[in-house]
Structure 1
């Protein structure tokens, strides 16, 4: 039960290879993706910091250029307002023209010793915003100009009094004034600076005045409000910036931000540019998404390739497994295709060699099985013959005796004498059959001794040579020289040879022919005796039954079918084998093999020396 469960849970080699390749590819892709993501993140962080710093510096430059332009234009207003030689009407006309030419300007005022000396303004712009000259004067009284604010190029502050008219005020000392301290304020529309703050769709830009209020912002709702946030704390209370620009990472309204800050030269303005990290690293996420897609594609390709490659590797193993099952079912003639010269190819070649050897062994086993079956048949027929002989021999002796007694009293020419003679003849024939059966069934205690095979062949041929010569059949001898002796009975082997030669004569049916007797020693030391004839041969169905008792191809009354059976038993008793080789029309050859005689000399077993020629 445990083995069956483990077998069901096991994975094939194909899937093990696929999982191994997928694991390797996944690990490699994961390491590459992680490394690339870290490198890209580091590079992207530096790039975003540099980009925000560049944007901050660029915005600062534009702000400085814009404020410088406003300051130069305000100087034009101041020169006209301070020019004593211009008549009042002409001066008013020139100032009105300047408001038309410089549409960003809303009002310009001059102060001596902190007291307003002159004020010009665009009445149409104030009316449109719902403001008056008094509103401008009230604002200045509420936000007096200090001496510290006039350092450098002067003060820039947010002076928005109405949402419809956002403005900034530039405070400076005009050039060409009198010895008295003269301060000029120029109220300018914020539209241009607001457009500058909103010029980027990705970055949020803002401008802080010297009071820490938003002078311009990409979000209009923040204008005029005091600045606050984590970045302000990182910069410090004084907003000190070392160098031209400073990049920071901070949190604002619950979002992670990257920003850069720079101050304008001499005006005390702080320019800030910021971008959410989610937007800054959007390309990083896109890269990661692309890497994930590429990784999945690589995994799919790796899975397909691993399936193809593992199938290429395991397919020969599957064929070997199927071939093994076929061999288990008894099909030893199967062969598998050998592809390549690698280990699997060598395994297939070894399997084919094994299958071939098993096939040859199976054939040899079948032959041995057939011989064993034949031996069992002979033993069965021997027992049957012994029983028949025992039961029939005595009654036949009585019949023969009474027939001979009656034959003596009958007249020689009478019908009774003739019939009694036939009874005597057939009874003797039955006795002969029974004697052969008993010889076949009974293992005689014959004394075996070292015997010369060539001498036995020569004596047997001499006995039947005259009889075969009358039938025009020649006997040819091809006897090997210096053959070792075999352990057996020469008379019994002679009986076998005579039986085979007489059978050859009867098979030729009076036709001239030849019987060849051949002896030789085999490589394993055994002796081989061949009895070949030029008769008509025999088909397979006759060959398979030739040694069975009572089987004969002779006409009725001419043979008992026991001669070859008795010969088979004799050769078997000698520890040898007898078989027939024959095809229809090609004659027949009976092959007898006998083991050579072994003698024990001391403790060493040796073969008997070859018999002397003619012994």
Structure 2
């Protein structure tokens, strides 16, 4: 069974990879996975970052408080050695950038660097008033009986904290990337499990479109795709049974049409040869009469010869109709063929000088698919019918037009008397002719040839306004 026109699927048709169902499943699942995992991981990273920052601040406050407590008595007695011991211990703590003990006058009494003692605070640490981005500045006043006797300054470097935070962020990004890879892999497996079965369905549909109704989808899953496959196979069984019934009915109808056509042809042949055959029989019986004179005998001989020639023409036309060979379809230049036939036709002795032949062949697409010899016969028959319909005077127009990107329309128009309305629907049939002496097989032969070219003969005519016969050919 051939596929119906208009819905044939081609295996060469491919969906772009970015718009396939598999890619959309992978992207959607991966995106959801990354958003969820990224949100969780980013919250954890921010929580760890806040914990590290809080820990550093807590340690700084504890350290500066210890410095203030440890230096209280030494400030009152201005014991520089004790104060130096305090700053020395502070210097050994991690992340300490500086530590200062300043009296109430603003002079440095002890420093972690050891060289700032006795100098004003502003000269020693101008950055105390302008804290740097990677330095945490802490200070604690030393009070005795409500009076401030000095101040402790502590600077903690946050470089280590920032390094640790960067490490945590990098690890978070790695976790997000790992989540993307894992989510993408899981999405690919899920999409493969789904689209594999859909691909099998698509393959089966393409086989059916190619005419293979024996295609089946082997899917044993119990999910929705499995149910679809089961319903699809059931549809195929029903379609195959229906197709077989249609084929059987078509064969019966074709057989009936063949018998009807044979009967119609037999009746047409009998009708066509009855009159000339009766004339021949009667003439033969008369020619044997002894009382016929020479003139009558010659007249009877002329009748016999004329009717015998008529019978021969009828039989030759019928043989031409019955022996139309299979078309050999190839791509040819249609304009060149039409020009060739017009040139030969114009030189034919049967074409009167009063016939004007007009060419209208200017089209962008010149090539079409046809059998060159058969198409030459089609053009010749149609042009000959047009000339015979004009009675020796008139205009014969041969035109070529583009009907669509893949079809060309050939039209032959005459300026004759036209075809009677009662004959217009019958002239394609064998042995039906509106011209006296015609066999009625010319258009029938043309119609058979065009059918092999997947085309039909279109006839438009009005009495007194001429006739146009046209057909279309595929360009690819």
Q: Common fold, TM-score beyond 0.5?
A: no
- The answer to which structure, 1 or 2, has the higher relative contact order (CA under 8 A, 6+ apart) is 2
What TM-score does the superposition give when structure 2 sets the normalisation length? 0.38
Larger Rg: 1
